[in-house]
Structure 1
Amino acid sequence: MQWILQDVPLGRNIQTIRMEKQMTQQQVVEQLQLMGSTMSRTTLANIETGRRNIKASDLKALRTLFNVSYDEFFAE
């Protein structure tokens, strides 16, 4: 399996935003699940470390949960 090199630190940006909001991974996942996501804490951890891609629907939910613009996720 080949990995696509990431040119934007999306996972790291998600982690930074989460920490600025003073939320644990578990708290984020619980809120996402209430919004209809099936994401697990392990999946979020893998997204934050760049080992896994995020679904567009989960990114949309994170935007709502964190109350940020998409630009903040894609900042370089």
Structure 2
Amino acid sequence: MQHDANLVGRKIARLRYQKGWSQDMLVAKLQVLQCNITRDILANIELRRSVATDKHCCFIATVFNVNIDELFRP
């Protein structure tokens, strides 16, 4: 089931692909920053099965070195 409230999932996947990172690599980078996320959680966010929390969005923006609003742009 896709959540209409998940606006960032596809963008996160796109940014990750652009960097050439696997989901495991992104999760490792997030966990270094003390982000409480697993590969399963990330996969569900990217597939729009679950919604990213505000904290996840902040950490993800930091790892990708983008403004958080960039995650919400198509």
TM-score normalized with structure 1 length:
0.84
Change (3 A) 1:21 1:48: same
Query: Which residue in the other structure is 2:24 paired with?
Result: 26
CA contact (8 A) 1:63 1:70 kept: yes
Change (3 A) 1:8 1:53: closer
CA distance in 2, matches of 1:52, 1:7: 9
* 1:25 partner letter: Q
Aligned length: 74
CA distance in 2, matches of 1:41, 1:8: 17
- Radius of gyration: which is bigger? 1
Contiguous gaps of at least 5 residues in structure 2: none
TM-score normalized with structure 2 length:
0.86
**Where do 4+ consecutive residues of structure 1 move more than 6 Å?**
none
Of residues 3-12 and 50-59 in structure 1, the stretch that sits farther from structure 2 once superposed is: 3-12
Contiguous gaps of at least 5 residues in structure 1: none
Aligned match for 2:57, one of 32, 56, 59: 59
Name the % identity: 31
Over the residues paired in the alignment, what is the CA RMSD in angstroms? 2.0
CA contact (8 A) 2:6 2:45 kept: no
Aligned match for 1:46, one of 36, 44, 47: 44
